[in-house]
Amino acid sequence: MEARGACEGGDAAAYEVLVRAYGGVAFRAAYLILGDSAEAEDASQEAFVKAYRALARFEPGASFGPWILAITSNEARNRRKAAGRRVGLSLRAAEEGVGRGDGSLSPEAALVAQERRAELLEALEGLREEDRAVIGYRYFLDLSEAETAEVLGCARGTVKSRLSRALGRLREALRKEQDAG
């Protein structure tokens, strides 16, 4: 990446290009783990500082996105461990990260969509962190299987199997929620 080389040379504008290009997705990745906007903002900013310091170790020809997301995820996990708490997704965050639609829905359809989104998020909150991470990276952050594997530090086949099991657990949680309601 050309911006990476310029960053190594101390070009602040090149660094700003990288932050603009990947800042939003880094924030959402941190939010998936932390569940708090302020903490996610701090974690993503710290991840960019760490990435900047480690640019010399960045493999030439590699994709910057998965690399910064791996750093961001590690930073967010470290912050969560330090805080000693487990926080799930909130409805507000999901609306910000997943999107709110184009406004073309009728009020009734919008209400149904909002209720379904709330059910989905409640079911996601009940999953293990590993399951939330693989689902979040693939579907909320729209990463490919290869990018998800790179961020999680595992093989692509592992992502496929984890995703399959996680989606199965999510379906089961949604069924239980539907049966209870």
Q: What local confidence, expressed as pLDDT, does residue 98 receive?
A: 46
The count of C-alpha atoms lying within 13 angstroms of the C-alpha of 5, restricted to the half-sphere facing its C-beta, is: 5
Q: What local confidence, expressed as pLDDT, does residue 45 receive?
A: 94
Q: Point out the least confidently predicted range of 5-9, 79-83, 103-107.
A: 5-9
> What value does the mean pLDDT take over residues 150-174?
93
Q: What local confidence, expressed as pLDDT, does residue 33 receive?
A: 84
Q: What local confidence, expressed as pLDDT, does residue 169 receive?
A: 95
Q: How far is residue 15 CA from its own chain's centroid?
A: 21
> What value does the mean pLDDT take over residues 150-167?
94
Residue 100 has pLDDT above 70, yes or no: no
Q: Percent of the chain at pLDDT above 90?
A: 34
For domain 89-181, say whether CATH 1.20.1280.50 is its number: no
d(CA 143, CA 141): 6
Residue 110 has pLDDT above 50, yes or no: yes
Per-residue confidence band for 5, with pLDDT thresholds at 50, 70 and 90: low
Which residues have a Cβ under 8 Å from the Cβ of 125 and sit 6 or more positions away? Answer: 88, 89, 132
For domain 1-87, say whether CATH 1.10.8.420 is its number: no
- The residues spanned by each domain of the chain are 1-87, 89-181
Q: What local confidence, expressed as pLDDT, does residue 91 receive?
A: 41
Per-residue confidence band for 99, with pLDDT thresholds at 50, 70 and 90: very low
How distant, in Å, are the alpha carbons of 27, 62, 149 from that of 98? 13, 27, 21
> What value does the mean pLDDT take over residues 54-59?
84
Q: What are the structure tokens assigned to 154, written together?
A: 């595992």
Query: How many of the other CB atoms lie within 10 Å of CB of 177?
Result: 14
Residue 3 has pLDDT above 60, yes or no: no
